[in-house]
Structure 1
């Protein structure tokens, strides 16, 4: 794959991600979260039981910024805090039942939106994108698995 192909892929993934997110939130009727809160909530959902500092490290954000986002998410009823049983000074973060329910609704809305978009593409393109789904999933997990990875 050439650099031009990779640029095209990166731009397409970015546009799809942002557009699917906005449209899914509107379709489901959820409040739009500020980007920082949305990113922190996604990280907490993928790593329940993490601390603020662990989330900050994973997202490469300042701990104070993550703390601010967490306060907003707690106020919205989307994040629950618990005390670490092994270290009473440490707070662990978990998605609330409402956040889990919202995520399920969004996942379903996004899948429906993609299904509609794929129906409008030539069959070979739609098939190629469906076939790429497992590889894209692995790519998404790889980019979030190692917070220290820069290249």
Structure 2
């Protein structure tokens, strides 16, 4: 492959993987499919419990008002807890609920199993190349991440 084609091909691949994983990561029975913005916020709060709405908005490159609206919906649905910060009652901390953590574990488990099964069907050389590329792909993700102001 010509190195000039790599950015376009990699972008297509990442979007395709995102779509396929999103489709495979259906919520557990009885849970509704969430819009991507809600899923991103839930993942962020899971990874950074106690994060504020403002910090979440900054991390997601969204307006605080929009994140606040998402938080209201997710609190209503029992997936997030919003509590006052102990040092500043004007600031709310966001934490995942047990229901959210349980659903997230089930989705992650199903996704990991699906990816593991797909990788097992590939030739050993393909798995070796994919494994070898992971550190470089993580470094690329860091390079693409906009700096925080």
> Which range, TM-score by smaller chain?
0.7 to 0.9
Any stretches of 5+ residues in structure 2 without a counterpart? none
Residue 138 of structure 1, CA deviation: 5.4
Residue 141 of structure 1, CA deviation: 6.2
Residue 49 of structure 1, CA deviation: 0.9
Deviations 1:66-105 (A, max 9, x none): 1111111111111111110001111110111221222221
Any stretches of 5+ residues in structure 1 without a counterpart? none
SS of the residue aligned with 1:81? strand
- Give the equivalent residue in structure 2 for 1:63: 64
Residue 2 of structure 1, CA deviation: 2.1
TM-score between the two structures when normalised by the length of structure 2: 0.83
Deviations 1:14-40 (A, max 9, x none): 2112211221215x4342101221111
- Give the equivalent residue in structure 2 for 1:101: 102
- Give the equivalent residue in structure 2 for 1:44: 45
Query: Using the alignment, how far apart are the partners of 1:85 and 1:117 within structure 2?
Result: 46
SS of the residue aligned with 2:95? strand
SS of the residue aligned with 1:87? coil
How many residue pairs end up in the alignment? 147
On the 8 A contact 1:56/1:62 being kept in 2, the answer is: yes
Residue 131 of structure 1, CA deviation: 3.3
SS of the residue aligned with 1:20? helix
Query: Using the alignment, how far apart are the partners of 2:136 and 2:72 within structure 1?
Result: 35
SS of the residue aligned with 2:94? strand
Query: Using the alignment, how far apart are the partners of 2:139 and 2:100 within structure 1?
Result: 24
Query: Using the alignment, how far apart are the partners of 1:95 and 1:140 within structure 2?
Result: 25
